[in-house]
Every structure is written in C-alpha cells, then in structure tokens.
C-alpha cells in the first residue's frame, strides 16, 4: 500500500474534493503545509509519493525523500520547487497536467470584461444611489473588433484564443515553442514576434511559466510599444512583468490599464504603488481556483500516481 502525504494549505473540505479520487489501497494523509520541517522529515522519509499545494519543500525535507517515486504538484506552476535538487536526487516532479486551464481561461475573460465594462465601479455607483452609466458608456468597450495578443499558446492560451475569437476578436500570439500549425489554424491565430504583438494588440494577455527566460519579460521596452488604449492582463506569474515599469506606464497613462491576478510579492506590501492606481483591477491569485477545479485536479493526480505505482512513466512530468 503506497503511503501518500499531502502537504497543503487548503481547507479540509476543499482538500477532500481532491482526495476523494484516491484509490482505496492508497494511504493518503493530509498535513498542513505550515508544519515544521522537523515534523515533516519522518513523514517524508516514509513516503512513496508526495502531493504538494503549494509546491514547495525545503532542502532538508527533500533530501529525506529516499523512497519517493514522484512529487505530484496540485498546481500547474513549479517555480517554487528546487528542480535542480530533485534532479540530483532522482525524484521526478509532475504538475497538474493543465487541469486548471479552464478556470484560468474563464477568469482571464472575466477580468477583461470587468475592466472593459467598469463593473466594479458600476456596482459601487448603484449601491451609492448613482443610477446611471459612467459617462454614458463612453469609457466602456466591447471585445468584438479588438486585437488580442496572447503570449503563450499552451492549453490556457488556446482556450483564451477560442473564447475571445468567439467574441469576434482578432487573435495574435507569440510562443517560442508554438503548437502544431493545425491548432493555430483552427484558432485563426496569427503568429507574430513579441514586439509586433505588443504594438498591435488592444489586449495583451500572459500565459507562460515563470523561469529565467520569462522573468521580467514584459519590461519597459515592450510596455513602451503598447497602444495608449491597451490593456495588459496577467494571470500567470507576477515576476513575468517588471512591476516598476508597469507602475510607471499606468501612472503616466501610457497604457489604459492592467488586470492582475498575480504580483511580484504576494500578498502585496500595502505601500505598493500599484494599489493606489485607479486603472488597475486586482484579484488575489485566484484565477485557477474554483470549486470545480479540485475534482478535476484530484482525478488527474491519483490517476498519475497509480500509473507510476504500476511502473509507468508519469504524465505532465516537468523532467
């Protein structure tokens, strides 16, 4: 019977939506991610698999994972894992296989619509007995007819392209590892270089992993190429954007606004100047989390652990 500790900060009822898919012969125990390392060490030393959310373990705890056959992340992101040490120890790591792609996609579209239609302000106005459209709608917009630039045409980027294409948007994309030409063709998505995407797009939406190649990818130079009416949406990772450069562009109204689910520091310092700007819409890194996501993730995770237990290679392996 495989022993499977699950270290997480999820509420017990939420974790149960995931662990309900554990095979009957898997001994799964949920532990708080905040547990001291001294208590984690013997648990990890006896484990056959590890499930992590968030995806982080300290070096001493990782080195105790002598029998672990797979570290399974509940998230798609893996930037907090010490992959170099995992390779050294010969412990494969897998992410969630894109099982939260639907959630992030819908959140991305929701952010665009909320910004374009000024929904937060409209709600506040109605509650304050101001029953009228802001400036008769002169500063609200439709997606139809806009050019959308998608940076990263993976599972999430493809879903975003499909949904926004259905709204009547023109789709551009940049991806150094593009999908099959047939996929881009079906999405009616045109591949361009990064500079051209930022120049042409009315909406730029980011869907890429955080690594040394993407850290601060969206910098002062690229922001300077954007239209003054353009919107930047980030639902991937905060450090993909140079936050100081973005703050300056927003403050000086060189771009119209930003919709951000992620930031460089989470939660942000209350003194973060982005929080003082009225042309930014925030959510607290919740794009990928809905009630519907946990069963999808749980089903994938335990099918993946079963594969490895049966001697097969894991799916969604990072290495």
Active site members: 237, 266, 285
Reduce the secondary structure of the chain to three states and give it as a string. CCEEEEEECCCHHHHHHHHCCCCCCCEEEEEECCCCHHHHHHHHHCCCEEEEECCCCCHHHHHCCCCCCEEEECCCCCCCCCHHHHHHHCCCEECCCCCCHHHHHHHHHHHHHHHHHCHHHHHHHHHCCCCCCHHHHCCCCCCCCCEEEEECCCHHHHHHHHHHHHCCCEEEEECCCCCCHHHHHHHCEEECCHHHHHHHCCEEEECCCCCCCCCCCECHHHHCCCCCCCEEEECCCHHHECHHHHHHHHHCCCCCEEEECCCCCCCCCCCCHHHHCCCEEECCCCCCCCCCHHHHHHHHHHHHHHHHHCCCCCCCECC
Q: What is the rounded distance in angstroms from the CA atom of residue 247 to the CA atom of residue 259?
A: 12
């Amino acid at each position: 019977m495989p022993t499977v500790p699950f270290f997480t900060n999820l509420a017990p009822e939420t974790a149960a939506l995931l662990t309900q898919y554990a095979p009957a012969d898997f001994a799964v125990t949920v532990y708080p991610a905040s547990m001291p390392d001294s208590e984690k060490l013997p648990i990890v030393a006896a484990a056959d698999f590890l499930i992590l959310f968030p995806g982080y373990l300290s070096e001493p705890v990782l080195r105790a994972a002598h029998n672990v056959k797979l570290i399974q992340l509940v998230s798609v992101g893996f930037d907090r894992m010490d992959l170099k040490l995992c390779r050294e120890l010969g412990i494969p790591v897998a992410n969630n296989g894109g099982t939260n792609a639907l959630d992030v996609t819908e959140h991305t579209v929701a952010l665009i619509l909320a910004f374009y239609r000024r929904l937060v302000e409209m709600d506040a106005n109605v509650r304050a007995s101001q029953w009228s459209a802001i400036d008769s709608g002169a500063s609200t917009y439709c997606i139809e007819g806009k050019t959308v630039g998608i940076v990263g045409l993976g599972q999430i980027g493809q879903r975003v392209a499909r949904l926004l294409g259905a709204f009547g948007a023109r789709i551009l994309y940049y991806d150094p590892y593009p999908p099959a030409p047939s996929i881009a063709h079906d999405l009616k998505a045109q591949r361009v270089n990064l500079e051209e995407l930022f120049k042409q797009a009315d909406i730029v939406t980011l869907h890429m992993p955080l690594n040394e190649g993407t850290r601060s990818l969206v910098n002062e130079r690229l922001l300077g190429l954007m239209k003054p009416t353009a919107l930047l949406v980030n639902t991937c990772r905060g450090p993909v954007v140079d936050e100081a450069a973005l703050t300056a562009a927003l403050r000086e109204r060189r771009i119209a606004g930003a919709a951000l689910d992620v930031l460089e520091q989470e939660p942000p310092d209350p003194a973060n100047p982005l929080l003082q700007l009225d042309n930014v819409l925030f959510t607290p890194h919740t794009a990928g989390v809905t009630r519907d996501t946990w069963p999808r993730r749980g089903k994938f995770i335990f099918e993946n652990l079963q594969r490895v237990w049966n001697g097969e290679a894991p799916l969604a392996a990072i290495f």
